[in-house]
A and B are shown apart, each in its own frame.
Chain A
């Protein structure tokens, strides 16, 4: 059990560029969540997967955001045409169906300049 891994840890990008983040959950975990955390706030739910199926997306997830989990293992979160308001910490968490309490990764901090 190596924990939830997120890559990169930090990303600085220019407004209008596309960025992609990766999350590797704990290997046997079939649920995977993405959250966004802005400065001074708690994390907010973006989307979640059970295995490879994306089962829910928050209204926070505009059409510039897309997430995939192609083989039910790692997941990617892509933001197209980044805006300054996208600057935040993006957190990934995973768990097993029936388990309560998710394991979080260390996050990817995005800064849009």
Chain B
């Protein structure tokens, strides 16, 4: 079985500040990891994914995440926050075999203060 834990249900940063959203995973086999963003009353949009190639993954809108096996982490970062980054962010995991349905964390709401 696999799971993800997102530390911090709410994160608030100032515009221009570093964004760091934390995600730790648990998996019995090599995982594939994802970050999705959700704006109010919308579906989820894929930001980036780790598929066992490079451990530093770059995504859309200036976000990136680093896979650290020793720490079982996949934290999401962005050097400089924009107001438009305010949204809910979900970390998700799936296994390298099987049905590939995603197991999501409970989400982190990012607020960006002017």
Q: Which residues of A contact B (CB under 8 A)?
A: 4, 6, 31, 33, 35, 40-45, 48, 55-56, 91, 93, 95, 100-107, 109
Contacts and interface: CB of A to CB of B under 8 A. Distances in A.
A104 B110 CA distance: 21
18 contacts: A6-B43, A31-B100, A41-B107, A42-B92, A43-B44, A45-B102, A45-B103, A48-B99, A91-B43, A91-B44, A100-B49, A100-B51, A100-B94, A100-B100, A101-B49, A102-B46, A104-B36, A107-B42
Contacts, number: 58
A101 B34 contact: yes
Contact of A42 (B51, B100, B101, B104): B104
Contacts of A106: 41-43
Interface residues on B, range: 20 to 34
Contact of B44 (A31, A45, A104): A104
B74 interface: no
Q: Which residue of A31, A40, A44, A104 has the most chain B CB atoms within 10 A of its CB atom?
A: A104
Interface string B23-37: 000000000101010
